[in-house]
């Protein structure tokens, strides 16, 4: 899977990538609605973190946001921590998305996830961790975590818990073409899953059917 901006790639290149089995996602771009739709027609299949780092939704120029919601073939990632995107914008995007493509949850998570690190370097730039978020030194948001996003859209947006979990599991697996063995607890699939409390707090993490983390052991 690769994220690219139409400004930096031709349609022929997108078609070549798609034909080679690469999932092409549009993002980090000021592309217009028409441009984004035309790239979807030649093989782009997804949009990277909706609303963030892209042309916005305007009433005369719908931009990439408009194309992401109106184009049924596009699967669309969304950072749903309540910081990267306003809850109202998340809500209308979820209601407006045309199928069969889905909105799925992404994190932009980095190497501090699951640790107590407060800072680290990424490509020579310092990333700071605090107040439930990752930021660059200038305050630019840099990452979130998945379980918090699931809880957020369930508790704050009223999303049924089953659908919130599908947005973090089944839908992203569908988007990258690995639904046969990831994203679902079914026969022949990899037994990768979380055990959660009714309040959506983490009890344990299982990878390949083996317990990899137990929250009761600290």
In a shared domain, residues 196 and 99: no
In a shared domain, residues 173 and 207: no
Q: What is the largest CA-CA distance in the chain?
A: 55
In a shared domain, residues 96 and 198: no
In a shared domain, residues 191 and 218: yes
Cα(204)–Cα(211) distance, integer angstroms: 7
Rounded to an integer, the average pLDDT of 18-35 is: 97
Which positions are annotated as active-site residues? 108
Q: Which residues contact residue 28 at a Cβ distance below 8 angstroms, ignoring those fewer than 6 apart? A: 3, 5, 48, 53, 54
% of the chain beyond a pLDDT of 90: 77
In a domain, 21, yes or no: yes
- Identify the residue with better confidence: 148 or 195: 195
The structure's pTM equals 0.87
In this prediction, residue 140 has a pLDDT band, given cuts at 50, 70 and 90, of low
> Distance between the two ends of the chain, CA-based, in angstroms?
36
In a shared domain, residues 176 and 207: no
* Of 36-50, 57-71, 116-130, the least confident: 116-130
**In the chain, how many domains are there?**
2
pLDDT score recorded for residue 112? 65
In a shared domain, residues 102 and 84: yes
In a domain, 50, yes or no: yes
In a domain, 19, yes or no: yes
Question: At residue 131, does pLDDT exceed 70?
Answer: no
pLDDT score recorded for residue 82? 85
In a shared domain, residues 32 and 73: yes
pLDDT digits (tens, 9 = 90+) for 150-171: 999 999 999 999 999 999 999 9
Long-range contacts of 147-150 (CB under 8 A, 24+ apart): 147/194, 147/196, 147/200, 147/202, 148/81, 149/79, 149/80, 149/81, 149/105, 149/107, 150/80, 150/105, 150/200
Q: Which domain holds residue 201?
A: 185-218
């Amino acid at each position: 899977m690769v994220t690219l901006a139409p400004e930096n790639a031709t349609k022929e290149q997108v078609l070549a990538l798609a034909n080679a089995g690469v999932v092409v996602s549009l993002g980090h771009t000021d592309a217009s609605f028409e441009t984004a739709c035309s790239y979807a027609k030649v093989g782009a299949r997804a949009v990277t973190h909706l609303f963030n780092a892209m042309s916005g939704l305007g009433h005369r120029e719908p931009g990439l946001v408009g194309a992401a919601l109106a184009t049924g073939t596009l699967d669309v990632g969304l950072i749903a921590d309540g910081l990267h995107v306003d809850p109202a914008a998340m809500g209308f995007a979820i209601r407006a998305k045309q199928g069969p493509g889905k909105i799925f949850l992404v994190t932009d998570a980095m190497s501090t996830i699951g640790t107590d690190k407060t800072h680290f370097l990424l490509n020579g730039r310092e990333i700071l961790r605090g107040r439930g978020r990752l930021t660059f030194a200038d305050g630019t948001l840099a990452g979130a975590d998945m379980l918090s996003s699931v809880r957020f859209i369930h508790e704050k947006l009223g999303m049924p818990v089953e659908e919130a979990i599908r947005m973090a599991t089944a839908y992203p697996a569908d988007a990258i073409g690995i639904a046969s063995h990831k994203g679902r607890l079914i026969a022949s699939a990899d037994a990768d899953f979380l055990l959660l409390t009714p309040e959506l707090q983490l009890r344990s993490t299982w990878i390949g059917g083996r317990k990899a983390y137990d929250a009761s052991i600290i």
